[in-house]
A and B are shown apart, each in its own frame.
Chain A
Amino acid sequence: QVQLVQSGAEVKKPGSSVTVSCKASGGASSTYAISWVRQAPGQGLEWMGRIIPIVDIATYAEKFQGRVTITADKSTSTTYMELSGLRSEDTAVYYCTRGMYYFDYWGQGTLVTVSS
């Protein structure tokens, strides 16, 4: 059974950076795309970017270009999402999720709170 397990909640200051990890188990994780999707409190879902670990190619949503970096460590089946220049509007639950056209497995979510 595929599982995506994310790192724990973070509290960050405005202007700082945060890195969230997502470890995959139970499947051929490197052959799938892993995306990062966020959800601000009471809001909808927003796709941020994805990586295909087997070819190490990352693609980002235009809104986050220059501020987000997604990397993958194939040896540990772990994907990382770094978001820089944090502002209060980045307070959200961040999910990793697997899939190329649709998303069949999701991590449990990581709450990132940006507050001075």
Chain B
Amino acid sequence: DIQMTQSPSTLSASVGDRVTITCRTSQSIGTWLAWYQQKPGKAPKLLIYKASTLESGVPSRFSGSGSGTEFTLTISSLQPDDFATYFCQQYNTSSMYTFGQGTKLEIK
């Protein structure tokens, strides 16, 4: 099975900051990686798919990059609505789907 390592688990930042979250996989997955945002009591929301494609309606301050085993989600200038938990998710034909452990983005 493919293992996912997402870091950091918690991130404290201020409005206007640039932040980066990293996801590493134990095997190469090409660009089969997605990023989600989840707020308390709500379902996850798709932000980025295929490592770097922005989902329709998602603000352009969100961006994704990477391929193979290392991926990043960057928020260029944090807005108050961005404080939430973020998850990465990989797709692989043998392991199917695996999620990262999550990164809680908190207000500093």
Complex interface: chain B residues within 8 A of A45 (CB): 36, 44, 87, 89, 99, 102
Residue from A62, A102, A107 within 8 A of B49 (CB atoms): A102
Number of B residues with CB within 8 Å of any CB on chain A: 21
Complex interface: chain B residues within 8 A of A62 (CB): 1
Docked Cα-Cα span, A37 to B98, in Å, equals 10
Q: Is the interface of B mostly helix, strand, loop or mixed?
A: strand
Docked Cα-Cα span, A103 to B90, in Å, equals 11
Indicate if the CB atoms of B32 and A44 lie closer than 8 Å.
no
B residues 13-68 near A (Cβ < 8 Å) are 32, 34, 36, 43-46, 49-50, 55
A residues 96-115 near B (Cβ < 8 Å) are 97, 100-104, 106-109
Residue from B1, B34, B43, B102 within 8 A of A102 (CB atoms): B34
Verify if B101 is at the interface (C-beta below 8 Å from A): yes
Indicate if the CB atoms of A109 and B43 lie closer than 8 Å.
yes
Residue from B34, B50, B91, B102 within 8 A of A44 (CB atoms): B102
Complex interface: chain A residues within 8 A of B36 (CB): 45, 103
Indicate if the CB atoms of A103 and B99 lie closer than 8 Å.
no
Verify if A46 is at the interface (C-beta below 8 Å from B): yes
Q: Which residues of B approach A to under 8 Å, CB–CB? A: 1, 32, 34, 36, 43-46, 49-50, 55, 87, 89, 91, 96-102
The 25 sampled A-B contact pairs (Cβ below 8 Å) are A35-B97, A37-B99, A44-B87, A44-B102, A45-B44, A45-B87, A45-B89, A45-B99, A47-B96, A47-B97, A47-B98, A47-B99, A50-B97, A61-B96, A95-B43, A97-B43, A97-B44, A101-B34, A101-B49, A102-B46, A103-B36, A103-B46, A104-B49, A106-B45, A107-B43
Q: Which residues of A approach B to under 8 Å, CB–CB? A: 35, 37, 44-47, 50, 59, 61-62, 95, 97, 100-104, 106-109
